[in-house]
Amino acid sequence: MNAQSVSPARISRESVRGVESLLWLAAGAAWAVVALRAWKQTRKTEARKRIFNVSDRLLNQVFPNGIRS
């Protein structure tokens, strides 16, 4: 393609499209990070609940009437 045949307006529109697509890509990556962090937090909460359930069950086996009785 001849450099003189390309109009400056076309180059400007192409660069704007390139920048716009990069912005959309960056926004998608940011949302992916947010979703991943939320998923990890959910997994941590579920693991914590499982640990408390197991510890409560074990404590009830060792101290059937409770610790303070």
The answer to whether residue 25 sits within a structural domain is no
Residues 10-36 have a mean pLDDT of: 91
Can you give the residue range of the structural domain that contains 51?
A: 30-69
In a domain, 3, yes or no: no
Residue 21 covered by a domain: no
Residue 62 — φ and ψ, nearest 5°?
-80, -40
- The count of domains in the chain is 1
CA 24, 28, 34 angle in degrees (round to 5)?
A: 145
Angle subtended at Cα 48 by Cα 45 and Cα 49, rounded to the nearest 5 degrees: 90
pLDDT value at residue 8: 64
Share of the chain above pLDDT 70, in %: 80
* pTM exceeding 0.85: no
**For residue 17, is it within any domain?**
no
In a domain, 2, yes or no: no
AA letter at 50? R
Residue 24 resides in a domain? no
* pLDDT(69) > 60: no
Asked whether residue 16 is domain-assigned, the answer is: no
- Is 12 within a domain? no
